[in-house]
Amino acid sequence: MSVERDVIGTLPDGKPVEKLTITNSGGMKIAAMNYGATLIRVEVPDRYGKMADVVLGFDNLRDYVEHNQFFGSTVGRYANRIACGTFTLDGVDYQLAVNNNGNHLHGGDIGFDKKSWAAQVSHHDNAVRFTYVSPDGEENYPGTLECNVTYSLGEDNDLRITYHAVTDKPTILNLTNHSYFNLAGRGNILNHMLSINAHRFTPTDENQIPTGEIRPVAGTPMDFVNLHRIGDRMDANDEQLLIGGGYDHNWVLNKTIAGELSLAARVEEYDTGRCLECHTTTPGIQLCTSNFLNLDVPGKKGMPLTRYAAFCLETQYFPDSPNKPNFPSAVLRPGDIYKQVTVYKFGTVE
């Protein structure tokens, strides 16, 4: 194992940005930068041992700053959407930024993805830990929040992301990583095979806010209980797919015990043989198939950043949970500890 750190540029406010790279003995490599605690590279072998980077992003810091698409970012304080940007906590009403079709998305105007995090290397654990203190009232969220995100790489090609946070006032919190995966390292993801360990999902209204219903996936294009080609039903005349322009929904994960680390999803790509398993402690996972991605600037090595170029598996509390009493609570109180673990396990299939 090795961990390297390099300065790759400066932000407009003059703060330096570091890239930290971990390589295991098998050659798998991950890299993250302290701007947004962002995962910027995941290099894994195919069935023949050929390495490729399987996450979308840019070749330079400027494009991450100027063309933000949350590529690999740590998203918070609240990942996903909150209806009308409002919620009530302990009898107090809060109005957050409205930055997505009349709703609040991914922490607001200047969320955690746009913050400079402090970086610390742990050679013993083959890990990089990013720390950020969000002051009381930032983006109008209550409470001073101390949080850290740790990326670690195992010898079995497993990327572990651990989130930890505490607060001095009651608040809401929902952190996730927003990496865009393409296991082929090129083209689109329509031929990727996907399974999601969930028999239910949360349908949305026309503004992609959950209605509050928890609906069975059986008999719908949302049924990924068994491996299914992502593109097979993408164009189905289905209300939910039409709303999202494809898949952009939250699945209710099958859990024997709340908070257990368990299988959430599996993806296989047969041309290269690469596969990915996602395990998480969270109650939900958002599948997004980059339905509206269409950037004029290219990604790494000139890769077009266009529709269906990648998929996201955002492990999370449910969207709009603060306004849905029947959803798992995303409230964090003083004295409690927010801890979330997500593991992306990479391998190959024949």
* Residue 242 confidence class, pLDDT cut points 50, 70, 90: very high
Q: What is the pLDDT of residues 35-56, one digit of tens each?
A: 999 999 999 999 999 999 999 9
- Token match 């009493």: residue? 325
Share of the chain above pLDDT 90, in %: 97
CA distance 298 to 21: 23
What is the average pLDDT across 228-243? 97
Each residue of 256-286: b (16+ CB within 10 Å) or e?
eeeeeeebbbbbbbeebbbbbbbbbbbbbbb
Q: What is the pLDDT of residues 159-211, one digit of tens each?
A: 999 999 999 999 999 999 999 999 999 999 999 999 999 999 999 999 999 99
199 is catalytic: no
| Structure tokens belonging to residue 284 | 């939900």
213 is catalytic: no
CA distance 337 to 320: 21
What is the pTM (predicted TM-score) of this model? 0.97
Catalytic member of 43, 139, 277, 314: 314
**Predicted confidence (pLDDT) at residue 123 exceeds the cutoff of 90:** no
Among the listed residues 323, 332, 248, 338, the one whose alpha carbon sits nearest the alpha carbon of residue 96: 323
* Residue 124 confidence class, pLDDT cut points 50, 70, 90: confident
* Residue 2 confidence class, pLDDT cut points 50, 70, 90: confident
Catalytic member of 104, 106, 178, 192: 178
Residues 6+ away with beta carbon under 8 Å from 105: 80, 81, 99
